[in-house]
Amino acid sequence: MARIDVVVDDVSLDAPTLVEGLPGVGLVGKIVADHLVSTFEMDYYAGVHCEGVPQAAVYRGERSSLRPPVRLHADEERDLLVLQSDVPVSPAEATEFAACITGWLDANDVTPLYLSGLPDQSEKVPEVYGVSTGGGERLLDDAGIVPPAEGGLVSGPTGALLYHAGRNDLDSVGLIAETNPQFPDPEAARAVIDGGVEPIVGIEVDTDALVDQAEEIQDARERLAKQMQQADDESSQAEPLRMFQ
Amino acid sequence: MARIDVVVDDVSLDAPTLVEGLPGVGLVGKIVADHLVSTFEMDYYAGVHCEGVPQAAVYRGERSSLRPPVRLHADEERDLLVLQSDVPVSPAEATEFAACITGWLDANDVTPLYLSGLPDQSEKVPEVYGVSTGGGERLLDDAGIVPPAEGGLVSGPTGALLYHAGRNDLDSVGLIAETNPQFPDPEAARAVIDGGVEPIVGIEVDTDALVDQAEEIQDARERLAKQMQQADDESSQAEPLRMFQ
Amino acid sequence: MARIDVVVDDVSLDAPTLVEGLPGVGLVGKIVADHLVSTFEMDYYAGVHCEGVPQAAVYRGERSSLRPPVRLHADEERDLLVLQSDVPVSPAEATEFAACITGWLDANDVTPLYLSGLPDQSEKVPEVYGVSTGGGERLLDDAGIVPPAEGGLVSGPTGALLYHAGRNDLDSVGLIAETNPQFPDPEAARAVIDGGVEPIVGIEVDTDALVDQAEEIQDARERLAKQMQQADDESSQAEPLRMFQ
Amino acid sequence: MARIDVVVDDVSLDAPTLVEGLPGVGLVGKIVADHLVSTFEMDYYAGVHCEGVPQAAVYRGERSSLRPPVRLHADEERDLLVLQSDVPVSPAEATEFAACITGWLDANDVTPLYLSGLPDQSEKVPEVYGVSTGGGERLLDDAGIVPPAEGGLVSGPTGALLYHAGRNDLDSVGLIAETNPQFPDPEAARAVIDGGVEPIVGIEVDTDALVDQAEEIQDARERLAKQMQQADDESSQAEPLRMFQ
Amino acid sequence: MARIDVVVDDVSLDAPTLVEGLPGVGLVGKIVADHLVSTFEMDYYAGVHCEGVPQAAVYRGERSSLRPPVRLHADEERDLLVLQSDVPVSPAEATEFAACITGWLDANDVTPLYLSGLPDQSEKVPEVYGVSTGGGERLLDDAGIVPPAEGGLVSGPTGALLYHAGRNDLDSVGLIAETNPQFPDPEAARAVIDGGVEPIVGIEVDTDALVDQAEEIQDARERLAKQMQQADDESSQAEPLRMFQ
């Protein structure tokens, strides 16, 4: 019964791009996804009922209608899908979750952009790097996104999504942004949008709000960190694999 | 073999409303359910033998006949069902439990009112908000119940019930009451009955007893908290999802 | 392969009564079962090979022949069966254990008397109460055994047995005796025999030995408590459900 | 795929006796098995690939050829098999392990001697007692081995083997030797060989080496205890069941 | 779906030798495998999608294309395969992993060299010993590699691979090198290459770089130890089985 249920029938997409926004290190993907859904006022498009999604009900302020905690939102004009999640996916079921998502993407001709933070303690402007499966490398080249200088490993649910994309030879891109390792990092999210999502998808996104809210977010960070990153050690992240040769 | 076994054949219901009373934060649902069953002297109607229900036997004072720990009670005159539970449902089996309950409700044309506490430390009179799935919004509008001002998440077995109602497009209502986060809260239960159950079901319920017993309950709260909320962190509750946009 | 294997073919029973003696709080059931088997020199009748029974081998003093750790003993003259256990049943498998036992009882027209302790710290003579499923209430009435004054819950393997009896509408009786919550309680066992087993089964049992051995048992109680009640928190017991209405 | 693979085809046995040597309390069985294999220079006869056997590879000094960690060794002349194990069997899989072994013994007309230690703190010469299933009692009588004076329970993998032998009505013998509860006990192993294995199998075994090595073993005991008895609490042992009647 | 997916079609191998490089004690196998892949610039040949392999995505510096974390690399000229792993294999799934690998090796006529460290605290030059299954002993003899002086046990995923090779009567060799028990040990890796891989495979490997990097590795050892050996107690290693006869 695990599957993705499209809940609208008046949205037509043509080989869309999907931006994945699962909560991982720095909440980079989640902040990006929430910002895109909000800024473009994207339509609620599908419920994601895959294994690993906690069965809970989400309500929004001022509206009574409930939604599932992991959803797809669509923007027909921009041929864009966003995977939005209000809960962490169970790391123990990441394999089944990734197989469920990957099968749907493949069947619906969707090109995914997976987002992962790369813990970095420096104060400099976060860099964004690109990795890829299938023919995704061409998308990175066209957008002028370079690979990481140093090798590494993407783990967690996002790592499983990239693993399945690779095994299925699905065209996909992974955007890896340097991020604060402990707290939500809107600067990293802005870098992903400006340096990755915009050039690949060919859209413009106003990210000023992200920066304006930085201070507010700073205040909220302890609460958020506790709320969203309980599965911290197993959450999605990239990490360097510095071997000696 | 998991299913709901109706144990009487002389009670006839016509598209009844069900009030769910699983033990969750503040024991709000359980206090409401126990009060309705007691006040209306509702009939024992069905045993709930779904996955996640601990296999134990319940006895009542002065009567030898045993009952299962999770049951439905019925009031034919008011077309009302109450889901009464003397044990917490296993959070690890909430999915199977919710599927079992939801299938039965759907097959029997029952409209559920799910009850959840929203932890709140203030001393003010508890507010009651409404959320919904399917056509449940109309019930809230007719009863004048507003949605929460701020978005949030209902988790635990009650969250799973709402998730399944949503996925099955079942008409359902969730009543979310501000509650003491640590102890049984009869004030919250009274607010749910007065502000939610009465207007939606169209019945009158004497809740004076709940208030009179408040002091007595206060004395019993440590014992009860220990007895009923051992699965505390995973018990049903609503919680705000204060995101930054 | 889980089932009850009758090991004799020369014992003929006619709708017998079974006294259950699983180790639970106060070891009430176990002391009763051991005393009946010993006093009546009951025959080893069947091995209980249900799920949840630890696979171990039991030897008796001065005899080399091994027996399974959970067994039925029979007394043809008194039409009596006793479920004797030298090990605790796994609480995690109580469901399968109870289904296995209940199916056999049902198929063989056996009426079970389930035994449970009700923790009580007072020094008074222990009370024995009766609960029932199916037509068991009549047996209690005929024997003059009253229900508990206050409602409660029987949990653990004995609770699962009563739950299954109820769900299968099997005639059964539960005898609930006040017991020392921490140590083996031969006084409670004597009360169960005198006030419950004797009048229901219609037999006489000499229980003087139980009292004479009380002092000896007192000495052994720490060792026994450790040996038999490791699964303490999950062992069978009745507990009050003092709700506020 | 779990089974016992015979690896030689030039050894012919006729209703042999098997001496079981799983590591248990006091390492009694293991010391006996190792001593028999070494003294009689027994042939490697079969790999034991049953559930519960850790998948590891064993090498012997000065020889490169690997062997499985649980094996049968054979002595054609003496019609003897020894079950030798260099690893503890997983207690969680003792049921499947015992079923696998018991089926093979039954199919190949093998009479097993199971060995278990009975923890004893005294300094006296260890006693050896006999228990039995099926027609094993006759073997004990012929050898003049008496049952324990006091009843008890054999648990762990050896207990499961005796349980399965009993359930399958297989002729088997259990030899229970008093042993040091914490350290390897070559004196107990010698007592088992002298007082149990020799008279039942009808062979002579030089056990002087066991005693000579006692001092050396004493030195090695801490290392060995750590290495072999990590699953200590669940390892095979006999324990008294001192009940009060 | 678990299997080994060959990703190239222009590499032709004829009964190749495989060098296994799973991370185990001293990281001996991993250092050897990484060094061979790097020195010979071996081709990425196949993704290893067996059970027990964490689903993660590996990127290399300066290249965007992702690879699975466990892979085979090939050198057509030397008829050589290397099993390279950037993650520990789950010890709980070592059985399924080993069955998956062994089946593929058997079907493709590959002779494996399995590598294991033998913890050793001395400062002397590490010794390399050989063990074998099937006809592997001949390879050791031809290369002049002697067995360990003392018996022992190879556990962990590499132990499971040797166990399965033995059970399938596959020709295989295990090279056991004395190694630092706590930190990556490039000296042990060099000893394995010089004393084991070179003579068996009949190739020459420049190992100077390994020694030159020793100091650098020393600096990195704490980080690496944490990164790679989290499953430390269950990682592959050989250990002596000093029994008393």
ipTM: 0.89
Interface check B174 vs A, CB under 8 A:
yes
Query: B20 near B115, Cβ under 8 Å?
Result: yes
Give the burial string for D159-175 (b: 16+ CB within 10 Å, else e). bbbbbbbbbeebbbbbb
Would you state the pLDDT for residue B212? Answer: 74
Interface check C2 vs D, CB under 8 A:
no
E243 chain-D contacts, CB cut-off 8 A: 34
In total, the C-beta contacts within 8 angstroms joining chain D to chain E are: 93
Nearest to C114 by CA among C80, C157, C143: C157
Query: C68 near D169, Cβ under 8 Å?
Result: no
Would you state the pLDDT for residue E168? Answer: 95
Query: B28 near B177, Cβ under 8 Å?
Result: yes
Tell me the shortest Cα–Cα distance from E159 to chain D, in angstroms.
4
**Which chains border B (3 or more CB–CB pairs < 8 Å)?**
A, C
Query: B52 near B234, Cβ under 8 Å?
Result: no
Other CB atoms within 10 A of residue E245 CB: 12
Would you state the pLDDT for residue B195? Answer: 96
Tell me the shortest Cα–Cα distance from D139 to chain E, in angstroms.
30
- Whether chain D lies against chain A with 3 or more Cβ pairs closer than 8 A is no
Would you state the pLDDT for residue A102? Answer: 98
Q: What is the pLDDT of residues B145-197, one digit of tens each?
A: 999 999 999 999 999 999 999 999 999 999 999 999 888 899 999 999 999 99
Interface check C186 vs D, CB under 8 A:
yes
- The C-alpha atoms of residue B230 and residue B223 are separated, in whole angstroms, by 11
Would you state the pLDDT for residue C211? Answer: 78
Q: Pick the residue with more confidence: D133 or C122?
A: D133
Residue of B137, B148, B245 lying closest to A38 (CB–CB): B245
C-alpha neighbours within 13 Å on the C-beta side of residue E98? 26
- Whether chain D lies against chain E with 3 or more Cβ pairs closer than 8 A is yes
Hey, what's the torsion of the CAs at A191, A193, A194, A196, to 10 degrees? Answer: 90
Contact A151 E59 (CB under 8 A): yes
Interface check C64 vs B, CB under 8 A:
no
Nearest to C151 by CA among C125, C118, C184: C118
Q: For A13-34, what is the mean pLDDT?
A: 95
Whether the per-residue pLDDT at A73 is higher than 90: the answer is yes
Would you state the pLDDT for residue D216? Answer: 67
- pLDDT averaged over every residue in chain E: 90
Tell me the shortest Cα–Cα distance from A150 to chain E, in angstroms.
4
Strand order in the sheet with A237-240: A237-240, A152-155, E57-59
**Which chains border D (3 or more CB–CB pairs < 8 Å)?**
C, E
- The C-alpha atoms of residue B164 and residue B95 are separated, in whole angstroms, by 8
- The C-alpha atoms of residue B16 and residue B46 are separated, in whole angstroms, by 14
Residues 6+ apart with CB under 8 A from A62: B147, B149
**Chain C 97-116, residues with CB within 8 Å of chain D CB atoms:** none
Q: What is the pLDDT of residues C22-47, one digit of tens each?
A: 999 999 999 999 999 999 999 999 99
Name the closest residue on chain B to residue C241, using Cα atoms: B86
Tell me the shortest Cα–Cα distance from E104 to chain A, in angstroms.
18
DSSP assignment of D78-116, as one string?
TTEEEEEESSPPPGGGHHHHHHHHHHHHHHTT-EEEEEE
Q: For E207-234, what is the mean pLDDT?
A: 63
Contact C63 D147 (CB under 8 A): yes
Contact C59 D151 (CB under 8 A): yes
DSSP assignment of E115-182, as one string?
EEEEE----SPPPEEEEEETTHHHHHHHHTPPPPSS-EEEEHHHHHHHHHHHHTT--EEEEEEEE-SS
Mutation for B interface: C114, C127, C153, most B CBs within 10 A: C153
DSSP assignment of D178-205, as one string?
EE-SSS--HHHHHHHIIIIIHHHHT---
Contact B220 C244 (CB under 8 A): yes
Q: Which of A184-188, C178-182, E234-238 has the lowest mean pLDDT?
A: E234-238
Nearest to D110 by CA among D136, D146, D137: D136
What's the pLDDT band for A65 if we cut at 50, 70, 90? Answer: very high
Whether the per-residue pLDDT at C174 is higher than 70: the answer is yes
Strand order in the sheet with A57-59: A57-59, B152-155, B237-240
Query: A18 near A81, Cβ under 8 Å?
Result: yes
Tell me the shortest Cα–Cα distance from E237 to chain D, in angstroms.
10
What's the pLDDT band for A209 if we cut at 50, 70, 90? Answer: confident
- Whether chain E lies against chain C with 3 or more Cβ pairs closer than 8 A is no
Residue of A47, A59, A213 lying closest to B152 (CB–CB): A59
- The C-alpha atoms of residue A161 and residue B123 are separated, in whole angstroms, by 47
Tell me the shortest Cα–Cα distance from C170 to chain B, in angstroms.
12
What's the pLDDT band for A174 if we cut at 50, 70, 90? Answer: very high
Q: What are the φ and ψ backbone dihedral angles of B226, each rounded to 5 degrees? A: -65, -45
Query: A98 near A105, Cβ under 8 Å?
Result: no
- pLDDT averaged over every residue in chain D: 90
Whether the per-residue pLDDT at A224 is higher than 80: the answer is no
Share of chain E above pLDDT 70, in %: 88
Lookup: tokens for A138: 């061409």
Ranges under pLDDT 50 in chain B:
229-232, 242-245
What's the pLDDT band for C1 if we cut at 50, 70, 90? Answer: low
DSSP H stretches of helix in chain E: 28-39, 94-107, 136-143, 156-167, 186-192, 198-201, 208-212, 214-228
Q: What is the pLDDT of residues E197-206, one digit of tens each?
A: 999 999 999 9
Q: What are the φ and ψ backbone dihedral angles of B103, each rounded to 5 degrees? A: -60, -40
Residue of B132, B149, B244 lying closest to A66 (CB–CB): B132
B69 chain-C contacts, CB cut-off 8 A: 153, 163
Kindly give the pairing relationship between strand A237-240 and strand A152-155.
Answer: antiparallel
- The C-alpha atoms of residue E112 and residue E172 are separated, in whole angstroms, by 5
Contact C56 D147 (CB under 8 A): no
DSSP state of A89: P
Lookup: tokens for D35: 């001593």
What's the pLDDT band for D182 if we cut at 50, 70, 90? Answer: confident
Tell me the shortest Cα–Cα distance from A39 to chain E, in angstroms.
30
Interface check D223 vs E, CB under 8 A:
yes
Whether the per-residue pLDDT at E126 is higher than 70: the answer is yes
The enclosing H or E element of A214 equals helix A214-228
Q: Which residues pair with B117 in a beta bridge?
A: B177
D154 chain-C contacts, CB cut-off 8 A: 56-59, 66
Q: What is the pLDDT of residues C33-88, one digit of tens each?
A: 999 999 999 999 999 999 999 999 999 988 999 999 999 999 999 999 999 999 99
Give the dihedral sign, CA E222/E223/E226/E227.
negative
At residue C39, the 3 state secondary structure works out as helix
Mutation for B interface: A55, A215, A221, most B CBs within 10 A: A55
Share of chain D above pLDDT 70, in %: 88
Lookup: tokens for C133: 């499923």
What's the pLDDT band for A241 if we cut at 50, 70, 90? Answer: low
Q: What is the pLDDT of residues C119-154, one digit of tens each?
A: 998 888 999 999 999 999 999 999 999 999 999 999
Would you state the pLDDT for residue E231? Answer: 42
pTM higher than 0.95 for the full model?
no
Interface check E147 vs D, CB under 8 A:
yes
E69 chain-A contacts, CB cut-off 8 A: 153, 163
Residue of E94, E133, E244 lying closest to D66 (CB–CB): E133
- CATH classification of E3-240, choosing from 3.40.50.620, 2.70.98.10, 3.40.50.10900, 3.40.50.11750? 3.40.50.10900
In total, the C-beta contacts within 8 angstroms joining chain A to chain B are: 93
Residue of A150, A167, A238 lying closest to E49 (CB–CB): A167
Contact E244 D220 (CB under 8 A): yes
**Which chains border A (3 or more CB–CB pairs < 8 Å)?**
B, E
Other CB atoms within 10 A of residue E62 CB: 11
Would you state the pLDDT for residue C245? Answer: 32
Strand order in the sheet with D43-49: D3-6, D43-49, D70-75, D80-85, D17-21, D111-119, D172-179, D128-133
Whether the per-residue pLDDT at E59 is higher than 70: the answer is yes
Other CB atoms within 10 A of residue D233 CB: 10
Region of residue A144 (left: phi > 0; alpha: psi -120 to 50; beta: else): left
Would you state the pLDDT for residue C243? Answer: 45
What's the pLDDT band for C237 if we cut at 50, 70, 90? Answer: confident
- Which residue type does A142 have? D
Tell me the shortest Cα–Cα distance from B127 to chain A, in angstroms.
14
What's the pLDDT band for D244 if we cut at 50, 70, 90? Answer: very low
Other CB atoms within 10 A of residue C76 CB: 16
Mutation for A interface: E44, E48, E59, most A CBs within 10 A: E59
- The C-alpha atoms of residue A71 and residue A53 are separated, in whole angstroms, by 10
Interface check A164 vs E, CB under 8 A:
yes
Share of chain E above pLDDT 90, in %: 77
Tell me the shortest Cα–Cα distance from E158 to chain D, in angstroms.
8
- The C-alpha atoms of residue C206 and residue C35 are separated, in whole angstroms, by 9
Would you state the pLDDT for residue A2? Answer: 67
Share of chain B above pLDDT 70, in %: 88
